[in-house]
Amino acid sequence: MSANAVQPEKMEFKTELKQLLHLITHSLYSNKEIFLRELISNASDAINKIKFDSLDHEERLEGNKDWKIKITLDKAAGTLTVSDNGIGLSRESAVENLGTIAKSGTRAYLEQLKGQQQAGQRPDLIGQFGVGFYSAFMVADRVTVLSRTVGSPEGVRWESDGQGEFTIEPFDRPARGTDVILHLKESELEFLDPWRLRSIVKKFSDFLEHPVVMDTEEEEEGGEKKTTEEVINSRKAIWLRSKSDNTDEEYKEFYKTISSDFNDPAKWIHYTAEGNQEFRVVAFLPAEKPFGMQFGEYEWGLRLYIQRVLIMDNCEALLPGYLRFVKGVVDSSDLPLNISRELLQANPLLEQIKTNVTRAILKSIDDFKTDDYDKYVKWFGEFGSILKEGPGRDFANREKIADLFLFESMKTPAGEFTTLAKYLEAMPEGQEAIYYLTGDTREQLEHSPYMESYRDKGQDVLLLTDPIDEYMITNLRAYKGKNLEAADRAVASDTVEASEKEKYAKLLEAMKAKLPEVVDVRLTSRLKESAAFLVTEGQLSANMERLMQRMGRDEGGTAKRVLELNGAHPVVANLLRLVEKDPADARIETHARTLYDLAVIAEGSRVKDPTALAKRIAEMLVKDAG
Ligand code: ADP
């Protein structure tokens, strides 16, 4: 069948893509040259794919394995072409991959952008979201893709002006691979200048393992022109060079090519492990939460190379989940090359690499905290909640991970933080545990009656308001030999004189009978200003119970509460008098109930029957006025 006999078929872009293309073509993005990085990186991915696919099937290569990415500039036609001999695109994959955005969450992202635009801000499109192939439309008003995929007799021609439709038709392309042809906009013809192009390629793709080539014409003696193919990039993979040979700029650029994050990384590490096995590592801490983490699916893991051959883009087996924001590369000299990805994931050597990389990353985060604290505070705001999954997942490293945490506490001014190490250092003599209180806001916790006795003793209490804290703290349990204790738990060391207990016994009995919500009513020495508060005895803390209720998981497992009373408080003393005078006095129940409700409010929970409470208080006010 001749290619020309078939009419090109018109197809529409998916809605999200239309919106995105509109934003790309209308955004006044100054750094347009990044389109070249995106296209070269796609070409390189395509080469890596066919290389991997043919590891056990050399014949699939059809002898075409002189790997290269070629850039062709055609001044007369006004086109810039990026060609590769990679895996190529079939008709289906062209429609699928070049007509939609695979990344889920794009819609949510676009909604946010629209919101910013409506709010009069100019959305930083590329700054937040790698648009990959479509960045071509920043500089081109038409893009043609010619491709033939491995094993297919027929090629494909895809073309679009980026306005909402594309055409697709068969096309003869004898060699396997892809040409992406950009018909440059009138205003973007500068990209046809070979010098300009060379410098962009060097900037973005110098460390790429595959050669990026361009034809250059040289005039020979006698006026004859001779075309030679010039390799533009130095092709030294960044992780294969020694650290001192790489510039900061090179690390940053490399990060951008592997992360689809367009911001600079916050920090990176680069080292070679020798010993049991040899491998090289370059790993980056992003500065901000990656797009996918905020808006949907997020693929994580390190890029795994074995002897410079890319084996997997996102090897999860190389990182613990609580470090899933880390991007980077591991190149192993010892893992076997001819092995399926499934088997590879189970190889014990991978586990060793993971252990080693985890330790190195935790160390680098710790250095970050020490060396650049202010920047770290912001960074921790982005990634702290993820790190806090650590103690529950990685028992061996739990204290190292805990060292990275920043906490607010009763003694830190709002917006400032302490660490567990600093907390221990500042602990007054006689304090045996690390105290914390979990809840919704710092303000609520600060005013909690639970704080009174700690404040009185000069002890600090960590104020934990991140929903994950509850999970983190129950897994961490102790730090440097000191237990972590919730400030709203009943404490064994609560010492009330025996004579006091006797004096109040009747009142405690009476109140317990009137308040089926609590398992006990007791006297406490921990309260200074408040009359009563609730402590928990069961597994669940009050905060955990609230979190579960909010998630719709009220499994009847309410925390067991004990109402503790401050015997020195006039309200309690007054109640005692009432009980002694007439145990049947109706006011005992009203007041007990009111005290209980106020304690519920103080712990940050919701009163079951607020109307009844309001009514009781109103009646008291009326009496007081009378
Ligand atoms: P990403 O590279 O992040 O997946 P892109 O929008 O850049 O997103 O590319 C979309 C898809 O199109 C790629 O995942 C790949 O499947 C395909 N593609 C793009 N360029 C090429 C190419 N040169 N050769 C083969 N496939 C390609």
Q: Which one of 1.20.120.790, 3.30.565.10, 3.40.50.300, 3.40.50.1440 gives the CATH number of domain 492-626?
A: 1.20.120.790
- Among 36, 45, 106, 257, the mutation site with the greatest number of ligand 1 atoms within 8 A of its Cβ is 45
Please tell me the residue having the least CA distance from ligand 1 atom 23: 43
Mean pLDDT of 594-605: 88
Mean pLDDT of 428-447: 91
Cα distance between residue 101 and residue 99, in whole Å: 7
Q: Where in the chain is the domain with CATH 3.30.230.80?
A: 238-380
Confidence at residue 557, expressed as pLDDT on a 0 to 100 scale: 52
46 lines ligand 1 (CB under 6 A): yes
Please tell me the residue having the least CA distance from ligand 1 atom 12: 97
Count, residues in the chain: 626
Report the nearest atom of ligand 1 relative to the CA of 93.
16
**Which among 241-255, 283-297, 358-372, 543-557 has the top mean pLDDT?**
358-372
- 144 neighbors 83 (Cβ within 8 angstroms): no
Confidence at residue 99, expressed as pLDDT on a 0 to 100 scale: 76
Query: Residue 165 corresponds to which tokens in the numbers above?
Result: 């439709």
Q: Which residue has the higher pLDDT, 494 or 83?
A: 83
162 lines ligand 1 (CB under 6 A): no
Max CA pair span of the chain? 125
Query: Residue 598 corresponds to which tokens in the numbers above?
Result: 């106020």
As to burial, measured by CB atoms within 10 angstroms (0-12 exposed, 13-18 middle, 19+ buried), residue 296 is middle
122 has pLDDT over 90? no
DSSP readout, 317-348? Answer: GGS-GGGTT-EEEEEESSS-SS--HHHHHT-H
314 has pLDDT over 60? yes
What is the 3-class SS of 254-289, one letter each residue?
Answer: HHHHHHCCCCCEEEEEEEEECCCCCEEEEEEEECCC
pLDDT tens digit sequence for 231-261 = 999 888 899 999 999 999 999 989 988 887 8
Interior CA angle at 303 toward 371 and 244, to 5°? Answer: 45
43 lines ligand 1 (CB under 6 A): yes
Average per-residue pLDDT for the chain:
87
Which one, of 486, 319, 445, lies nearest residue 386 by Cα?
Answer: 319
Q: Which residues contact 622 (CB under 8 A, 6 or more apart)?
A: none
52 lines ligand 1 (CB under 6 A): no
Fold of 407-487: Rossmann fold (3.40.50)
Cα distance between residue 27 and residue 47, in whole Å: 31
Put the strands of the sheet holding 79-84 in their side by side order: 9-12, 165-171, 155-160, 140-148, 177-184, 79-84, 69-74, 212-219, 225-231
86 lines ligand 1 (CB under 6 A): yes
Confidence at residue 197, expressed as pLDDT on a 0 to 100 scale: 94
Output the CA 40–ligand 1 centroid distance in Å.
Answer: 10
Q: 238-380 in CATH: which number? A: 3.30.230.80
78 lines ligand 1 (CB under 6 A): no
Put the strands of the sheet holding 302-306 in their side by side order: 265-273, 279-286, 327-332, 302-306, 309-315
- 285 neighbors 326 (Cβ within 8 angstroms): yes
Domain 3-231 is classified in which CATH homologous superfamily?
Histidine kinase-like ATPase, C-terminal domain (3.30.565.10)
Q: Residue 404, by phi and psi: left (phi above 0), alpha (psi -120 to 50) or beta?
A: alpha
DSSP class of residue 478?
E
Please tell me the residue having the least CA distance from ligand 1 atom 10: 97
- 563 neighbors 603 (Cβ within 8 angstroms): no
Confidence at residue 3, expressed as pLDDT on a 0 to 100 scale: 46
Cα distance between residue 464 and residue 367, in whole Å: 24
97 lines ligand 1 (CB under 6 A): yes
Report the nearest atom of ligand 1 relative to the CA of 134.
6
Please tell me the residue having the least CA distance from ligand 1 atom 17: 97
Q: Is the alpha carbon torsion for 58, 61, 63, 68 positive or negative?
A: negative
Cα distance between residue 13 and residue 100, in whole Å: 6
Q: Tokens 């999200």, residue?
A: 16
1 has pLDDT over 50? no
- 417 neighbors 377 (Cβ within 8 angstroms): yes
Output the CA 97–ligand 1 centroid distance in Å.
Answer: 7
Q: Tokens 């050669």, residue?
A: 211
pLDDT tens digit sequence for 152-165 = 999 999 999 988 88
Mean pLDDT of 216-230: 83
| Residue 534 main-chain phi, psi, to 5 deg | -105, 135
In which band, very low, low, confident or very high, does the pLDDT at 589 lie, cut at 50, 70 and 90?
Answer: very high
Q: Where in the chain is the domain with CATH 3.30.565.10?
A: 3-231
Please tell me the residue having the least CA distance from ligand 1 atom 13: 97
Q: Which residues contact 411 (CB under 8 A, 6 or more apart)?
A: 418, 426, 460
Query: Residue 317 corresponds to which tokens in the numbers above?
Result: 């087996």
- 86 neighbors 45 (Cβ within 8 angstroms): yes
Please tell me the residue having the least CA distance from ligand 1 atom 16: 97
Q: Where in the chain is the domain with CATH 1.20.120.790?
A: 492-626
- Among 133, 180, 260, the mutation site with the greatest number of ligand 1 atoms within 8 A of its Cβ is 133
Q: Which residues contact 186 (CB under 8 A, 6 or more apart)?
A: none
Sequence letter at residue 599: A
The interaxial angle of helices 586-602 and 570-581, nearest 10 deg, is 150
Cα distance between residue 280 and residue 357, in whole Å: 10
Cα distance between residue 42 and residue 208, in whole Å: 12
Report the nearest atom of ligand 1 relative to the CA of 87.
25
Q: Which residue has the higher pLDDT, 558 or 502?
A: 502
298 lines ligand 1 (CB under 6 A): no
- 259 neighbors 314 (Cβ within 8 angstroms): no
Cα distance between residue 535 and residue 548, in whole Å: 18
Confidence at residue 459, expressed as pLDDT on a 0 to 100 scale: 95
Output the CA 515–ligand 1 centroid distance in Å.
Answer: 66
- How many Cβ atoms are within 10 Å of 494's Cβ, its own excluded? 14
